[in-house]
Amino acid sequence: MLELLRLIQDGSFHSGETLGKQLGISRAAVWKQIEQLELQHQVAIHRVRGRGYRLAEPLLLLDCERIDGSALQLESVIVKDVLDSTNAESLRLVASGLAAPFIVLAEQQLAGRGRRGREWVSPCAENIYYSLVLRLDQGARMLEGLSLVVGLAALRVLREAGVERAGLKWPNDILVGNQKIAGILLELIGDPTDICHVVIGIGINVNMRAESNAIDRPWTSVLLSTGSRQDRNHLVSRLNCFLADYLSKQNGLGFAALLDEWEREHLWQGRQVVLSAGGEPVHGQVLGIHADGALRLLVKGCEQRYSGGELSLRLHDDS
């Protein structure tokens, strides 16, 4: 069905007859696919008698031929129309023996995931749903502060795209003010004390602007922040470059070498926060980040450190 979307992505009118010939189907079958695109993928399409079909707004779909993976020395760039999630597909590909490093992208996710099991809303052909798979021969050493390092790379992409107010929130989010624009989800495969693989999942809201009842927290996108639609192929290529740069620094010098930069970009540095992990909430002031990526809080006059994927941080005055 997304093959039809590729044919009409330019935003011009295309007749049902021409589309049918290109796809090898009848005009009636084209009409049915148009209807499915609208209903299943929430793609807005205009119909005009005598002229045909056109998108309400042009799209530029992902194209592996236009994505530069050289900085990461990728073995494969995999683009799928629809997946449950790019992380889930990456896990399957590692299990099948596909050589790393590789990236998996999707136009749409049906079961996109964020941290703590939250849904990551993934409309068709609007955002970046990206997973990078790396083989770690040094085991867990490179995992220290990894999600924070990835956050720096994603932040640079957003800043370069014109989202000047974007900043980091420990441990895995990028915000514009109090609105989420990107998130990171890491998943480990294998023995962390030996050779293993890590899947680095990154979701970036790029051209999304429609309201979604499925998103239960404030959000924004590059389009909403800058007023300009973005070429996602270009953004993915730049993400590859920034990831290669930051991962190289971490691999050579450790996260400690990036600590000061990360704290400068932390929107909640020095703020009063509430940390939750399923038990009694912890109230404190953000002092910064430890060299291993742990959060440093001033709690009742004493410094405490917290780390772990199930922790949730919010501002003290955030109702």
Any idea of the CA torsion for 182, 100, 91, 250, to the nearest 10 degrees?
A: -40
Active-site residue, from 156, 169, 180, 232: 180
Known binding-site positions: 85-87, 109, 113-115, 180
Sign of CA dihedral 95, 99, 102, 107: negative
What tokens were used for 171?
Answer: 């441990």
Known binding-site positions for biotin: 85-87, 109, 113-115, 180
Active-site residue, from 27, 118, 165, 314: 314
Q: Which residue has the tokens 């023995």?
A: 191
Active-site residue, from 115, 156, 232, 238: 115
Kindly report the number of other CB atoms within 10 A of residue 120's CB atom.
Answer: 21
115 a catalytic residue: yes
Q: How far apart are CA 125 and CA 135, in angstroms?
A: 29
Residue-wise over 262-301: b if at least 16 C-beta within 10 A, else e?
bbebbbbbeeebebeeeeeebebbbbbbbeebbbbbeeee
Q: Are 207 and 61 in contact (CB under 8 A)?
A: no
Q: Are 152 and 259 in contact (CB under 8 A)?
A: no
296 a catalytic residue: no
180 a catalytic residue: yes
The catalytic residue positions are: 115, 180, 314
